[in-house]
Amino acid sequence: MDIETINYYDASAKSYLDMVCNAEPDSDLKSFMETIKPGGTVLDYGCGPGNSSAIMQAAGLKVYAFDGSQEMVNIANNLFNVKAIKAEFKELSDINLYDGVWANFSLLHAPRSEMLINLKKIHTSLKENGYLHIGLKIGNGEMRDTLGRNYTYYQPEELNSLLISSGFSINTQRLDMNGTLSMTGAIEPFMIVTAYA
């Protein structure tokens, strides 16, 4: 990940937690958990402060988690007892381990040049027919926002092509062109895609 982006999350981990923390799973996380077999093993790929990991743990899933921000990892471990580790996307080396990977608005911080290899690593880490959830912002190019975070934007067709090239079969795709409010105050459209390995 881009160092300026990591520095932002290190400095803003607590306020980010306050913004994203939920006591109950949203519809996407609930759907993900319902798709994984009871007691299954999942990876929270870019876990942030660990709220989603904690919800999955409470539901009986075995959760592995990592994030590029040490402060995010600290919150995940100290507040939610997630046992997350600090790691970058490219460091994923697990093979045939996970029933599901939750990559919810994390890979949007990876450079476009690394997306295909990251998706291939995720595919390799999943068991046969393992389940992937990925959330990204819709748009074009790469840019830094007003908070200093670097983003890569995708069109749905591009993401689908990358997933298929990585060995995935597309399951569902949901586009929200009305968008959601970001920490910059901007409203940005996004997509949620699920796929099977």
pLDDT of res. 181: 62
User: What's the rounded Cα separation, in Å, for the pair 165 and 176?
Assistant: 24
User: What's the rounded Cα separation, in Å, for the pair 135 and 138?
Assistant: 10
User: What's the rounded Cα separation, in Å, for the pair 27 and 158?
Assistant: 25
pLDDT at 2 over 90: no
**Residue pLDDT, tens place only, 157-171:** 999 999 999 999 999
User: Domain limits of the chain?
Assistant: 3-196
**Residue pLDDT, tens place only, 7-36:** 888 888 777 777 777 778 999 999 999 999
The residue behind tokens 């459209």 is 189
Architecture of domain 3-196: 3-Layer(aba) Sandwich (3.40)
**Residue pLDDT, tens place only, 104-153:** 999 999 999 999 999 999 999 999 999 999 999 999 999 998 888 999 99
The conformational region for residue 179 under phi > 0 = left, psi -120 to 50 = alpha, else beta, is: left
